Chains A and B, each alone.
Chain A
Amino acid sequence: MGATGGPLLELSGVRAAYDGITVLHGVDLEVGAGQVVALLGPNGAGKTTTLKAAAGVHPISGGRLLLGGRDVCGARAGELARAGVCLIPEGRGVFPNLSVRDNLWMMTFTGRTREEVEDAAYARFPVLGDRRAQAAGTLSGGEQQMLALARGLTTDPAVLLLDELSMGLAPLVVADLYERVADIAREGVAVLVVEQFAAAVLKIADRAAVLVRGRIPWQGHPDGSLHAELSSYYLGSAP
């Protein structure tokens, strides 16, 4: 929970649309400080749109987006990012032709020096230190994801939004990355993870929510009942 006792990130009845076609039909979700919440669901359910709405990147057409208890509907994404909302998009978003070092250099816009950014990144992900001169495009998928995480963390986020961290990665790498995410959450960061493949993220998630066709039909503690229902939501047999 946040400093005010409430959640750091709260979506209340959020609706969002693309060109008049509504894709989110009233999403309710809460993430407290130090919590990891997994947002699961099949392709096209609206998971990425939910993340974009939470980051202020996609405008919401109804409902409320509250950060630290304050309604921030209408705030620019840049302002929210400066306050401490960090979105790591699907596909990592690193510059493939630049070296690891230069990718990290991009994050000095936050006011931190190049040395500070690099030291923080290499302390958290030592493998990046070994590859500092290597072009980011030649890193393995897991290392690229680490670089994306390291870049995001230099902004000192209070709310971290992760989109499909496991995409294209081997299960062992995914498990390692999610352990790092759990470490980040233990530092008091509110983490919302969007994931299509539930198994890895549910090991570290405090709560989970299932998003199907723009609605959340189930959310709660990830236990056996979720595993039983998840397949039916994915396969479309649940109401």
Chain B
Amino acid sequence: MTSSPAPEPRAERFVRELAELKIPDPAVARAALWLRLGGVLMAVGLVLGAVAFPLAHGTDNSLAQGDALAVGLGGIAAAVVGAALFLRYSLTGFLRFWLARQSYDLELLGERLTTTPPTTSLPEGDPRNGVPRTDPAPR
């Protein structure tokens, strides 16, 4: 008869289940929101800027032309702000990745340099310059 394994203590199971829990990072969600907002502002700003031109040209009324100019300027401002937001949050993501990659490469290089054996003091009897010694007598 085989003995069944001892049940896992509740506290240990609790810690394990919590470790497996996927918790969304609120900072990441906020960054994604700003990035999306930047993209939307940029697109809306460009559209408003483009629409303002035919609006201003399509009328002789100076008041309506003033309104169209205001819409155009607002669009440009929105596009500038949106582009700044978009660049800031997309660049952050890219630079974070680049930095992580850079530090990984540096670590790899460091490991390689520290683990390479020294080549200056080869023991007696070892081949030098790829040519094996023919005289085995000790000196």
Residues of A within 8 A of B (CB): 2-4, 8, 33, 67-75, 79, 82-84, 156, 158-159, 187-190
Binds A, one of B12-20, B40-48, B66-74: B12-20
CB nearest to A82 among chain B residues: B17
Provide the residues of chain B in CB contact with A83, threshold 8 Å: 14, 17-18, 21
Binds A, one of B22-30, B53-61, B84-92, B96-104: B22-30
Indicate if the CB atoms of B24 and A159 lie closer than 8 Å: no
Indicate if the CB atoms of B9 and A70 lie closer than 8 Å: no
Indicate if the CB atoms of A188 and B21 lie closer than 8 Å: no
Q: Is B1 among interface residues, defined by CB-CB distance under 8 A?
A: no
- Grouping DSSP codes into helix (H, G, I), strand (E, B) and loop, the B interface class, with mixed when no group exceeds half, is helix
Q: How far is the CB of A175 from chain B (nearest CB, A)?
A: 26
Give A72 to B24 CA distance when docked, in angstroms: 10
Indicate if the CB atoms of A68 and B15 lie closer than 8 Å: yes
CB nearest to A75 among chain B residues: B23
Residues of B within 8 A of A (CB): 9-15, 17-19, 21, 23-26
Contact partner, B11, options A70, A71, A82, A188, Cβ 8 Å: A188
Provide the residues of chain A in CB contact with B11, threshold 8 Å: 2-3, 8, 33, 68, 158, 188, 190
Indicate if the CB atoms of A84 and B17 lie closer than 8 Å: yes
CB nearest to B20 among chain A residues: A83
Q: How far is the CB of B113 from chain A (nearest CB, A)?
A: 37
Provide the residues of chain B in CB contact with A68, threshold 8 Å: 11, 14-15, 18-19
Q: How far is the CB of B7 from chain A (nearest CB, A)?
A: 12
Contact partner, B21, options A79, A159, A189, Cβ 8 Å: A79
Provide the residues of chain A in CB contact with B9, threshold 8 Å: 3, 188
Indicate if the CB atoms of B12 and A70 lie closer than 8 Å: no
CB nearest to A6 among chain B residues: B15
A4-B15 contact in complex given A74-B26, A188-B9, A188-B10, C-beta closer than 8 Å: yes
